[in-house]
Amino acid sequence: MKITFVRPNMGAGKSLDAMQSLAIAVLQGLTPNGVDIDFFDDRIEVLPLDLDTDVFAMSVETFTARRAYYLASEYKKRFYDMCYISLIIYTLSGSIYFYTENL
């Protein structure tokens, strides 16, 4: 099994001051042995649209939600299972279910 973690940016442009994503590092540490992991940071690199992965997991924050929804739509077109990792999920409307299978 392979999980691809993505940290979305606030918009399509690149950041000049991106800090290391500690949430993803913690999740990688909690992932069981034998599971392959990829990580892409949308803030500092171009995200590939075609990935060899089983699960696509995004760390979503309030200010990155719009970009995360856009990315989720693009990856769902390619039949990837989506998973959101976020605290804001509990405060969002039901619209998030159009973008993911797992919360």
What value does the mean pLDDT of the chain take?
76
Give the ranges where 1-103 is alpha helix by DSSP (H). Answer: 22-30, 65-77
Residue 28 has what pLDDT?
Answer: 83
Residue 98 has what pLDDT?
Answer: 47
User: What residues make up the domain containing 67?
Assistant: 2-13+20-98
Is 54 part of a structural domain of the chain? yes
Q: How many structural domains compose the chain?
A: 1
Is 86 part of a structural domain of the chain? yes
Residue 62, domain CATH: 3.40.50
Is 103 part of a structural domain of the chain? no
Instruction: State pLDDT tens for residues 1-15.
Output: 888 888 888 877 777
CA distances from 23 to 27, 49, 85, 93 (A): 6, 23, 9, 24
Instruction: State pLDDT tens for residues 35-45.
Output: 999 999 888 88
Is 91 part of a structural domain of the chain? yes
Tokens of 94: 């039901």
Whole-model pTM above 0.85? no
Is 61 part of a structural domain of the chain? yes
